[in-house]
Amino acid sequence: MNLLHLFDLSFTARRDQPALEWEGRTYTFGDLDARSDRTAGALRAQGLVQGDRLCVQLPNSIDFVDLYLACLKLGVIFVPINVLYREREVAHIVNDAEPRLFLQQPLEGIDGSTPRPTFDGDTPAAIIYTSGTTGASKGAVLTHNNFAANAVNLLTSWQITASDRFLLTLPLFHIHALGNGLHCWLMSGCRTRLLERFDHRTALGEFEDFHPTLFFGVPTVYVRLLDTPPDVAQRIGATTRLFVSGSAPLAPDVLERFRALFGHTILERYGMTETFMTVSNPYGGERRGGTVGLPLPGVSIRIERDELLVKGPTVFSGYWRRSVPDAFTADGYFRTGDIASRDADGYITLRGRRSDVIISAGFNIYPREIEELLGAQPGVREAAVVGVADGLRGELPVAFIAGDFDAAELERVCREQLASFKVPRRFVRVDSLPRTALGKVQKHLLKAQD
């Protein structure tokens, strides 16, 4: 079985039902099936065959959906590229993936039958390049089985059904929207409204007009939503049953403020491009602030020397044309590079990236602990802590902060609540933190500024 068999739950069984709202028009599942058939015809006319790669650099649109579905129908490997990437970043991916075709605008569809090639769940469906927050991005090869196992897990664990109304504003070139959003939508058969992007100036109007029951966001989106007038927040909260956050750590104070404003506890979960979703706070149980929850069904978790290791049906098998011998343990666990701890009852708490750990005079400093303290202080919009070289101690923590703050007061708070070796040696004012499209702070760029 492959993804097309699972999507037929909607394309065949719900053919005449509303599927997608895009730019004021509603498309049925049958419309999407027919559109992607025509797009598949256009790709076939360009010479693409099973196993070829198609690179696509497009913003959210129905055309993006058409291209992805067309690739699945042809057995072509879909390679989405971040729309914010510049020539150098795009060239790296194109040179690595070696696509038969690279599209930055839609093709004109061609009518005709689309014979489906024969392939199983182990066939690659997509190559998604990592965000490259610490260096050149690598292409994670993701199979039909990886995508399917992830979606089945989320449909079950988050109780997503055909009766849901899903507001999708995250970029489809990322695993969060493509792997979670698009696949949960097409497999559940729920009605979805797709936006090109999340725009805080118009977001509340979209919520009040569409009345979604389901919303996926990243921490920066939820920070923006904290500016919602209380009466509007209560109306939105009355119709939305589930808010999910991922792709970057959610500050505990944002969780609490959102709960007070909207009447909902955001469900925080954890995953990676290479692993899809592996850990989630429960839908029906305690959503514990500061944690990412419990392992999802079929996922095995291990913590070795403070690093989180994962194994399961959603975990990829390797990078495109690149051998990374130390990526997996001898018994098949993927080394995530994330520092984590596990409570007695199983809840996982992330402490930061192994590459972010600051070692000062032999002491390990986890930046996230300092960042959460700084982020809770008046006037601080966002904060990131990085290690900078020091001849005596090896590294010293330095805080980069956006907002209106008093450095002396922040230092006083840190000295009161942190061990002395954790106190940042400098508090550097910045207009904003450099982030990826999904909100991950690019700390290597901050180090370059110091």
Question: Across residues 404-425, what is the average pLDDT?
Answer: 93
Element (H, E) at 167: strand 165-168
pLDDT at 200: 92
Residues near 81 by Cβ (< 8 Å), separated by ≥ 6?
55, 56, 57, 90, 93, 129, 173
**What digits encode the pLDDT tens for the residues 84-101?**
888 888 999 999 999 999
Span 298-313, pLDDT tens digits: 999 999 999 999 999 9
Q: What mean pLDDT is reported for the chain?
A: 93
Q: Which of 80, 52, 46 is nearest to 65 (CA)?
A: 80
Instruction: State yes or no: pLDDT of 133 exceeds 90.
Output: no
Q: Which residues pair with 400 in a beta bridge?
A: 384, 428
Provide the pLDDT for residue 315: 97
Tokens in use for 390? 């020091």
The yes-or-no verdict on residue 199 having pLDDT over 90 is yes
pLDDT tens by residue, 313-347? 999 989 999 888 889 999 999 999 999 999 999 99
The pLDDT value given to residue 29: 98
Please name the residue that has the structure tokens 């930046």. 367
More confident residue, 270 or 249: 270
CB 101, CB 40: distance < 8 Å: no
Instruction: Tell which residue, 183, 198, 160, has the closest CA to residue 60.
Output: 198
User: 397-407: per-residue pLDDT in tens?
Assistant: 999 999 999 99
As a whole number, mean pLDDT of residues 53-71 equals 98
Please say if the pLDDT value at position 134 is more than 60.
no
The per-residue pLDDT for 130 is: 87
Do the beta carbons of residue 228 and residue 241 sit within 8 Å? no
Greatest distance between any 2 Cα atoms in the chain:
71
Tokens of 53: 């790669």
Q: Judging by DSSP bridges, how do beta strands 363-365 and 276-280 pair with one another?
A: unpaired
The reported pLDDT for the residue numbered 450 is 64
d(CA 104, CA 412): 51
3 state SS of 39: helix
Confidence of residue 135 (pLDDT cuts 50, 70, 90): low
Residue 165 pLDDT class (50, 70, 90 cuts)? very high
Which residue stretches of 226-335 are H helix? Answer: 230-239, 252-262
Given this model, what pLDDT does residue 23 score? 97
